[in-house]
């Protein structure tokens, strides 16, 4: 009897397994954005089902809306903006996606080093009079993290409202015990998309990669930089990565506020009220024309990816990218190859060796194909973590989104598109200085390496 029962249970397990696999394959075909992503997941499920099935259930979600707690879409308030007939084509495209047009009168200042970024963050915290709002992917428990937490704790004790939002995976080891003084003094902390809350709803893969710090709803520090010693600090550090952030004042601050408000409401269940702009004070006098563009599961479609794709097809002279990981989808990779082939100065600045071996493997064939079409591969000798794009003399992009499929299709991201010449020139010069410290070209590889990189490229949507 026990043998028959075992056979029956085994048969049911096989039937159930095939049925589950079939259901998941249908789900993949229906929900995945790209054919490469669908192919990678289907191969994982068929060839390694005991790994592929649970991994898809945990990590396979993309813009899923499974239950009442799923984050609502962001709706940014339209402000006085550049007239449609004067707007850049990228600006016009983004408006069709529901992104408000570029605002005028902003002041933008780049923070080109980790010391500069640290000093600006400290200044933002210490000079805040009423409120500090911070969201970051990583808040480390190292000396820099401790220093920032202590400063926040002191501001809370002095009566300043502090809200700190951390991604649950990026800041996995930053426990509430580490933040105890901040919390005990009255500060509030929330973790975005907790790892062990409904892990099989497919949302574990959806991480908040945004980096925003806002003081008194008037000044923003944003970009690609986390809060840890490898990113920022008061002194030079040999191990520090090269990164880029910026300080923003002006009407565009409101859009960063609205994004933080949406993220905080989802993670903490509390609404952060946005006060109307104060008209009694002298308004910020800047010439910056900027457009704030969030992307991720809380934004319809893929505005950052599609804007970069459009930029690649419309660029006439220059198309520069700085990214730690170059793993684009095939549409974007092909657009860059075609731009290089028609004579556009396409240059991709990457670290000679990044902190992710799999990403380095997956980028290999992409880089060689681009190089063969006339694109230039610039390898920076140290880890570069900045996310930057320069398009001709008409657009620069700085923010949190890497040039990879995770950032462009999965993560919650936010970037700033600048259309004014002084801001574009700042970014252009920063990238140019980076290139001067780098080496050019890609090395040929043997059969084994080429094969391994080809496999990694196929698996890139799962990275």
What top-level class would CATH report for the domain 303-462? alpha beta
- HSE, side-chain direction, 13 A CA sphere, residue 70: 18
Q: Is 72 left (phi over 0), alpha (psi -120 to 50) or beta?
A: beta
Token look-up 């410290």 returns 437
Query: Any idea where the domains of the chain sit in the sequence?
Result: 2-59, 106-287, 303-462
Counting beta carbons within 10 angstroms of the beta carbon of residue 328, is it exposed (0 to 12), middle (13 to 18) or buried (19 or more)? buried
Please answer whether residues 57 and 202 qualify as being in contact, where contact means their C-beta atoms are separated by less than 8 angstroms: yes
Please answer whether residues 167 and 205 qualify as being in contact, where contact means their C-beta atoms are separated by less than 8 angstroms: no
Q: Hey, do 106-287 and 303-462 end up sharing a CATH topology, with the first three levels equal?
A: yes
Token look-up 């094969």 returns 451
Q: What is the dihedral of CA 374, 379, 384, 385, to 10 degrees?
A: 30
Quote the CA–CA distance of 254 and 258 in Å, as a whole number. 6
Please answer whether residues 189 and 100 qualify as being in contact, where contact means their C-beta atoms are separated by less than 8 angstroms: no
Regarding the domain delimited by 106-287, which CATH topology (the fold level of the hierarchy) does it fall under?
Answer: Endonuclease; Chain A (3.30.870)
Per-residue pLDDT of the chain in tens (463 residues, 90 and over written 9): 456 555 544 444 444 445 555 555 555 444 544 555 555 545 555 555 545 555 555 455 544 444 334 678 888 888 888 888 889 999 999 999 999 999 999 999 999 999 999 999 999 999 999 999 999 999 999 999 999 999 999 999 999 999 999 999 999 899 999 999 999 999 999 999 887 654 444 455 678 999 999 999 999 999 999 999 999 999 998 889 999 999 999 999 999 999 999 999 999 999 999 987 654 455 667 889 999 999 999 998 899 999 999 999 999 999 999 999 999 999 999 999 999 999 999 999 999 999 989 888 889 999 999 999 999 999 999 999 999 999 999 999 999 999 998 899 889 999 999 999 999 999 999 999 999 999 998 888 777 777 776 776 766 655 5
The reported pTM is 0.85
């Amino acid at each position: 009897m026990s043998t028959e029962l075992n056979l029956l249970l085994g048969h049911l397990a096989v039937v159930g397994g095939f049925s589950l696999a079939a259901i998941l394959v249908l789900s993949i075909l229906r929900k995945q954005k790209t054919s490469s992503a669908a192919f990678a997941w289907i191969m994982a499920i068929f060839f390694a089902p005991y790994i592929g099935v649970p991994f898809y259930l945990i990590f396979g979600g993309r813009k899923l809306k499974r239950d009442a707690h799923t984050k609502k879409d962001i709706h940014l308030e339209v402000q006085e903006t550049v007239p449609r007939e004067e707007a850049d084509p990228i600006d016009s495209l983004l408006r069709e996606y529901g992104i408000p047009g570029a605002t005028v009168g902003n002041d933008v200042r780049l923070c080109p080093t980790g010391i500069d970024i640290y000093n600006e963050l400290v200044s933002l915290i210490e000079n805040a009079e009423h409120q500090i709002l911070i969201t970051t992917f990583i808040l480390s428990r190292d000396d820099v993290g401790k220093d920032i937490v202590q400063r926040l704790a002191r501001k809370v004790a002095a009566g300043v409202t502090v809200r700190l939002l951390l991604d649950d995976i990026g800041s996995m080891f930053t426990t509430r015990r580490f933040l105890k003084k901040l919390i005990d003094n009255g500060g509030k902390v929330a973790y975005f998309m907790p790892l062990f809350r409904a892990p099989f709803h497919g949302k574990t893969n959806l991480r908040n990669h945004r980096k925003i710090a806002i003081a008194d709803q008037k000044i923003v520090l944003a970009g690609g930089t986390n809060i840890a010693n490898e990113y920022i600090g008061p002194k030079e550090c040999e191990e520090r990565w090269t990164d880029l952030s910026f300080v923003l004042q002006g009407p565009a601050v409101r859009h960063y506020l609205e994004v933080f408000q949406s993220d905080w409401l989802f993670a903490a269940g509390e609404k952060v009220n946005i006060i109307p702009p104060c008209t009694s004070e002298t308004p910020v006098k800047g010439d910056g024309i900027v457009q704030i563009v969030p992307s991720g599961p809380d934004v319809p479609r893929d505005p950052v990816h599609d804007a970069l794709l459009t930029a690649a097809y419309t660029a006439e002279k220059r198309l520069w990218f700085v990214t730690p990981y170059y793993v684009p989808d095939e549409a974007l990779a092909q657009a860059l190859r075609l731009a290089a082939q028609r004579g556009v100065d396409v240059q991709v600045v990457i670290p000679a060796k990044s902190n992710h071996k799999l990403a380095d493997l997956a980028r290999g064939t992409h880089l060689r194909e681009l190089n063969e079409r006339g694109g230039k591969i610039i390898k920076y000798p140290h880890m570069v973590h900045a996310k930057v794009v320069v398009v001709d003399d008409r657009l620069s992009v700085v923010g949190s989104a890497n040039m990879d499929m995770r950032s462009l299709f999965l993560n919650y991201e936010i970037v700033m598109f600048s259309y004014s010449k002084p801001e574009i020139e700042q970014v252009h010069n920063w990238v140019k200085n980076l290139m001067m410290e780098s080496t050019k070209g890609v090395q040929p590889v043997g059969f084994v390496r080429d094969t391994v990189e080809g496999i990694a490229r196929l698996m890139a949507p799962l990275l």
